[in-house]
Amino acid sequence: MLGAVLTIGILFSSACREEEMTPCSIQDKRLVDGVDFYCGNVVDLNRMGANLDYARIVNTQFNSVTAENIMKPAFLHPSENLFHWTEADQLADYCASHSKRLHGHTLIWHQQLPPWMLNFRGDQTAWENMMREHIFQIVNHFKGKVSSWDVVNEAFNDDGTLRNSIWKKNLGSSYLEKAFQYAHEADPAAKLFYNDYSLVINPVKRKAVLSFLNSLKAKGVPIDGIGLQMHLFNGFPENVEISNAIDEVWKNDYLVHISELDISINPFSQALDKAPQEELVRQAEKYLYIFKTYDRIHASYKFGITIWGVGDRDSWIRYFYNRADFPLLFDDNYQPKRAYCKLIADL
Residues at the contact surface with ligand G3I, assessed by CB under 6 A: 68-69, 111-112, 153, 197, 229, 260, 316
Nearer to ligand G3I, 14 or 112 (CB): 112
Written as one letter, the residue type at 19 is E
**Gap between the Cα atoms of 160 and 139, Å rounded:** 29
Nearer to ligand G3I, 110 or 141 (CB): 110
User: Among residues 85 and 316, whose Cβ is nearest to ligand G3I?
Assistant: 316
* Spatial contact of 305 and 325, defined as CB atoms under 8 Å apart: no
Q: Rounded to whole angstroms, how far apart are CA atoms 287 and 291?
A: 6
Q: How far is the CB of 196 from ligand G3I (least distance, A)?
A: 8
Transcribe 307-324 into DSSP letters: ES-SBGGG-HHHHHHTS-
- Give the CA radius of gyration of the chain: 21
First CA to last CA distance, the chain? 43
Distance CA(57)–CA(64), nearest Å, equals 13
- Active-site residue among 68, 260, 278, 285? 260
Minimum distance from CB of 24 to ligand G3I (Å)? Answer: 27
- Look up 20 and say whether it is catalytic: no
Please report how close the Cβ of residue 20 comes to ligand G3I at its closest, in angstroms.
Answer: 32
Residue with smallest beta-carbon separation from ligand G3I: 316
Nearest residue (CB) to ligand G3I, 26 versus 64: 64
| Residue with smaller CB distance to ligand G3I, 194 or 338 | 194
Q: Is 260 a catalytic residue?
A: yes
Q: Provide, rounded to whole angstroms, the least separation between the CB of residue 262 and ligand G3I.
A: 9
What CA–CA distance (Å, rounded) separates 300 from 250? Answer: 9
Sign of the Cα pseudo-torsion (30, 34, 40, 42, in order): negative
On whether the CB atoms of residues 268 and 296 are closer than 8 A, the answer is no
For the bound state, the minimum distance from the C-beta of residue 13 to ligand G3I, rounded and expressed in Å, comes to 41
State how far the Cα of 30 lies from the Cα of 317, in Å rounded to an integer: 26
169 CB-near residues (< 8 Å, 6+ apart):
none
Cβ at position 109, least distance to ligand G3I in Å: 7
Residues in the chain: 347
Catalytic: which of 20, 87, 128, 154?
A: 154
CA distance 82 to 76: 8
Which CB sits closer to ligand G3I, 105 or 337?
105
**Catalytic residue positions, numbered:** 154, 260
